[in-house]
Amino acid sequence: MDTDKLLKKPIHMAIISFFHENQASIDTPRGIATWIGEDRSKVKAALEDLVKKKILMAHRVASTTGYSYTRDMELISKIEKLLKSYRR
């Protein structure tokens, strides 16, 4: 599974974990970089990867992009299982 592969990358894992724990959050790359303590440009690229995989949603306007978590309950429960297995 692609999500499984993405979770092996530390930044992707950190972003997914952040949104999984804060499912109501909408934040900019700068905000997310702050929450997970990673470099903003790397976070930005990882966010776009996750948008492509439909794990995140992008809310784009001219001045910035806000990212939020998927609403797909099936995907969320898959991620829940994967996160648990990685944390073990």
Say if residues 54 and 75 touch (Cβ distance below 8 Å). Answer: yes
**Interface with other proteins includes 24 (CB under 8 A)?**
yes
Shortest Cβ 8–other proteins spacing (Å): 25
Is residue 31 a contact residue for other proteins (CB under 8 A)? yes
Distance of alpha carbon 67 from alpha carbon 88, whole angstroms = 28
Strand ranges inside 1-88, DSSP E: 26-27, 56-60, 65-69
Residues in 36-55 that interact with other proteins by CB under 8 A: none
Residues that bind other proteins (CB under 8 A): 22-28, 31, 35, 57, 59, 61-64, 66, 68, 71, 73
